[in-house]
Amino acid sequence: MFEELDAAFGKLDVLINNVGQLASFIITEVDEKNVSGLYSANVFSVYYCAREAVKRMRRFRRRYGLCRL
């Protein structure tokens, strides 16, 4: 995804990271696999996108902004 942005725009100025997978379950009946998948979607996806965005933003030695909604 970020390689496509590099090719199309050449630089990245801001990342607005909007993620939030919802789940409805009864805590005593849900298994760890489902909880782990939910956690991965809501936490690790933010981490990976922010990491790649900052790498690109630092190349231009500018201030950069990250926004998590």
What's the rounded mean pLDDT across residues 2-7? 88
Q: Specify the range with the lowest mean pLDDT, choosing from 5-9, 19-23, 29-33.
A: 19-23
**How far out from the chain centre does Cα 4 lie?**
16
65 band by pLDDT with thresholds 50, 70 and 90? low
- Per residue in 26-59, pLDDT (tens digit) is 888 889 998 898 888 888 888 898 899 888 888 8
Q: Which of 8, 17, 12, 15 is nearest to 56 (CA)?
A: 12
Nearest one of 46, 40, 39 to 69, comparing CA atoms = 46
Q: How far apart are CA 23 and CA 18, in angstroms?
A: 16
First to last CA, the chain: 20
Distance CA 68, CA 20 (A): 10
